[in-house]
Amino acid sequence: MAKVEVKEVPEIRGFSTIKKVPNRAALQGDLKPNTIVIFHGKEGHELLVEIFKPDPNGDKVLPSATFAVTKFSGSSEKVDNAYATLLFWALKEGKSLGSPAREVYTKIDTSQSPPEVEVEVQVPLQ
């Protein structure tokens, strides 16, 4: 099983865009190194996501928080496996996970289809 750690993430300033997408594959064009994808739930049949680009001059601040964190490397279509890792960890440790979840992309290889990614999945602890 992948390693899970509890991490204090400081506030981050940047710029963000809210999007409604039908599925994770629709986000592939937005995935760039250092991009943070924040999942705000669903509206109808679409995912409500925020594409956040860190920038010290940004007009939005993501607040600091305590997260359960795991890293995932592999196909961008399989990032959801990291959420299963976090869920099993929370159940074992007696922790409660909150929302919204964040995915911090550190590497994207678009020469593959679907892209290969390295991402840190962060879910707030309640």
Set out the domains of the chain in order of their start, with CATH numbers: 4-124 (3.20.80.10)
Whether the predicted pLDDT of 1 surpasses 70: no
CA–CA dist 4, 82 (Å, integer): 10
Contact status, residue 68 vs residue 126, Cβ threshold 8 Å: no
| 50-77 pLDDT per residue, tens | 999 999 999 999 999 999 999 999 999 8
Query: Which DSSP helix (H) or strand (E) runs through 93?
Result: helix 80-93
pLDDT, tens only, 84-104:
999 999 999 999 999 999 999
pLDDT bracket for residue 25 (50, 70, 90): confident
Nearest to 87 by CA among 79, 77, 97, 78: 97
Q: With a threshold of 0.75, does the pTM exceed it? A: yes
Mean pLDDT (the chain, rounded): 95
